[in-house]
Amino acid sequence: RLKAEGALTCDGLLEQANDYLERFDLVGIAEETEATMLLVADLLGLQALPISGQLNRNPHRKRPPDSEAYKAMERLNECSIRVYDHWRGRFARVVDAQGASFQHRLQHLRALLRSRPSKAVAKYATINATPKQEAEGIPVQSPGA
């Protein structure tokens, strides 16, 4: 039952969400689509993740955090925000733990997506580069690194 019905507290919701999400090898974050993609590619040993166009872009104007509507949404979604903040922090720690090689490949992927938004292909920043990619100086993760 929902918190609004008095059956679940924010702490209870956070505990349930954490228990459920702990079952997954990776919980990605929407704002970190590129890092999530790269982590998934590495977890699965994929050589390519083809993607085209902009990732996670919202052309709509955002409400300023100091607006009344924004404050009301925060109050109504306090529990969800706590769950999200917890997992966003955990995701950041996972990304940081990947080391310099991952960060370099992530920077390269982001630069590629910015420079060729309609033709970008994620394979240029994943593991097991092709000879052509190696010739172009594409960063490669060593197996087991």
Chain segment 120-133, per-residue pLDDT in tens: 444 444 445 556 65
Instruction: Please state the rounded mean pLDDT for residues 88-100.
Output: 95
Q: Residue 33 and residue 3: Cα distance in Å, rounded?
A: 30
Only one residue has tokens 């990776």, namely 26
Residue 100 has pLDDT above 70, yes or no: yes
- CB neighbour list of residue 109: distance below 8 Å, 6 or more residues apart: 34, 37, 38, 122, 124, 125
**pTM of the predicted protein model:** 0.66
Q: Residue 1 and residue 24: Cα distance in Å, rounded?
A: 24
**Quick one: pLDDT band at residue 143, thresholds 50, 70, 90?**
very low
